[in-house]
Amino acid sequence: MGAPLDRRAVLKGLAAAAATLAAGGVTAGALAGGAGAAPAVVDPITAQTLEAFADTIIPGERRHPGDRAVAGAVSGPGAVQAGALEVLASPELPLRPLLPAIAALLTTRATAYAATHLILLPPLQPPFVGLSFAHRTKLVGKLYGPEDVDRAIWQVLALVVALAFDTAANDDTADAVRTGHPGLTWLGFPAAGADGAWRFGAYSYGRALAPLHPSTTPSGSPA
């Protein structure tokens, strides 16, 4: 029997990872493999379970006909195609040693959910992967309920997954747009200028909302 789950350590690791990603602290070279390729340091059961969770948060189309982790509920790319697992397993984040424990916790919840709803799970697949997309969605909804003791873990895990899709957290933004990152491409994120910076020639609201302060520096910072 394994050691008891250290929920505090898991939550601290997730929170630290989210903060690092939001600050742009992960480089593309630190990731193991391209988008959609499970890092070799993650065992197959952990990888499939976390991919299925990521696909429930931001669903995408199946990568191949035999794909089980990705349910194929929608067309277009989802979190898995955008490299969610690669971000979670990045050596620059403190999550890699915690991923099996997070997957095991999700396995426990999926097994209990299946038993409660009289669902016969496929014997050769991780329990969460064996659930249909509809049941995965219902289970994740319950995990976010105020009565769930691990609610904070699932919330921050979903945030990390979303950062992989919405911000290309596993790459430089300009490089990610240029090379066709699935999430940024799907969202229509604009390309940077020749110098790698973004500039917008029109006001978002069609007009200036306030005059420029005369002491504003050339970089746009307040004096």
Residues 159-172: tens digit of each pLDDT: 999 999 999 887 88
pLDDT at 8 (0 to 100):
86
The pLDDT, as a whole number, for residue 121 is: 96
Higher pLDDT, 150 or 91: 150
pLDDT tens figures, 85-130: 999 998 888 888 899 999 999 999 999 999 999 999 999 999 999 9
pLDDT in tens, 39-84: 556 899 999 999 999 999 999 999 999 999 999 999 999 999 999 9
pTM score: 0.82
Query: Which residue did the predictor score with more confidence, 174 or 38?
Result: 174
Tokens of 53: 């969770």
pLDDT-derived band at 30, boundaries 50, 70, 90:
very low
For residue 1, is pLDDT > 50? no
Concatenated DSSP letters for 117-177? TT----TTS-HHHHS-HHHHHHHHHHHTSTT-TTHHHHHHHHHHHHHHHHS-TTS-HHHHH
Q: How confident is the model at residue 35 (pLDDT cuts 50, 70, 90)?
A: very low
Contact 61, 69 (CB under 8 A): no
Question: b or e along 129-152 (b: 16 or more beta carbons within 10 Å of the residue's beta carbon)?
Answer: bbbebebbeebbeebeeeeeebee
Higher model confidence: residue 215 or residue 1? 215
Residue 32 has pLDDT above 50, yes or no: no
- Residue 221 predicted with pLDDT over 90: no
pLDDT exceeds cutoff 70 at 22: yes
